[in-house]
């Protein structure tokens, strides 16, 4: 799930022409990883079989990389403008019982939590949205892509469905020095991990992008602030007009917990 799910979109998305697609790559100096083929003249279809990763995500994204609580630092989703302390937690669902069919792919619990308004105290109980995520198949149908997922709501939200896709990610940045080295304060600096997630539009929510980070303070430090600027700069250079327009709509999410 991205930051919010609504009804599954009903309009048919247009498949990009294969001749129009372009492989978009991000500068390697920041170890930014991108697997995305876009047609700059048409919308992104998460269900489009022509949108193949440049390299198999199953070889670059490990499931353990996703299984944690992520802080939503920036978003384009209008409903989040009045909310704060928004997090999303992915956890592996337990194996099925003996009488149930064993699935050949991982299924994740998807938990979004947030304070409903800016006046909430940090200790106020958060509201939540619960669902499950299943990875989408790659073209050959034998490998499941860990960068593309289908979300289904739980309970009364079970009828709701949505797709989301990881566009950019990095699980290896450190504020000071290299991994395992100590920073200026005598402690090993916390690793900065982040994701850029694209989510498709629904009846009630527009298409958009979210920036996740493993840190509650997001990109507030000097190094991290420069890193975020670099991420935004690279997104603005994306040859997809839609992505470039979405970048201009990004706003920061307030966190005080």
Query: Longest Cα pair distance anywhere in the chain, in angstroms?
Result: 55
pTM, rounded to two decimals: 0.72
CA distance 190 to 25: 27
CATH number of 18-181+190-252: 2.40.128.20
DSSP letter assigned to residue 82 = G
Element (H, E) at 83: none
Contacts of residue 49, Cβ cutoff 8 Å, sequence gap at least 6? 139
Give the mean pLDDT per block of 10 residues along the chain (257 residues).
45 35 33 36 34 38 92 95 98 77 83 97 96 81 81 83 88 52 46 88 82 90 82 84 90 94
Neighbours of 185 (CB within 10 A): 8
86 contact partners, CB below 8 Å, separation of at least 6: 3, 71, 72, 75, 80, 112, 113, 114, 253
Q: Domain extents for the chain?
A: 18-181+190-252
Task: Kindly state the tokens that stand for 135.
Answer: 């990875």
């Amino acid at each position: 799930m991205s930051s919010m799910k609504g009804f599954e979109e009903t309009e048919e998305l247009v498949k990009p022409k294969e001749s129009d697609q372009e492989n978009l790559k991000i500068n390697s100096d920041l170890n930014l990883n991108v697997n995305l083929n876009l047609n700059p003249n048409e919308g992104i279809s998460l269900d489009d079989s022509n949108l193949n990763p440049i390299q198999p995500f199953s070889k670059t994204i490990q499931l353990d990389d996703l299984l944690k609580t992520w802080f939503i630092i920036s978003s384009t989703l209008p409903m989040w403008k009045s909310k704060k302390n928004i997090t999303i937690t992915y956890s592996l669902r337990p194996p099925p019982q003996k009488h149930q069919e064993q699935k050949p792919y991982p299924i994740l619990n998807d938990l979004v939590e947030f304070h409903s308004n800016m006046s909430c105290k940090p200790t106020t109980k958060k509201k939540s949205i619960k669902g499950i995520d299943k990875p989408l198949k790659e073209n050959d149908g034998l490998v499941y892509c860990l960068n593309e997922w289908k979300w289904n709501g739980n309970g009364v939200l079970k009828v709701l469905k949505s797709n989301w896709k990881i566009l950019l990610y990095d699980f290896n940045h450190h504020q000071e020095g290299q991994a395992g080295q100590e920073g200026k304060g005598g402690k090993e600096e916390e690793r900065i991990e982040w994701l850029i997630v694209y989510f498709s539009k629904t009846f009630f929510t527009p298409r958009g992008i979210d920036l996740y980070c493993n840190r509650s303070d997001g990109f507030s430090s000097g190094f991290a602030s420069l890193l975020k600027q670099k991420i935004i700069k690279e997104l603005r250079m994306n040859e997809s007009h839609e992505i470039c327009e979405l970048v201009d709509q990004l706003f920061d999410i307030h966190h005080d917990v």
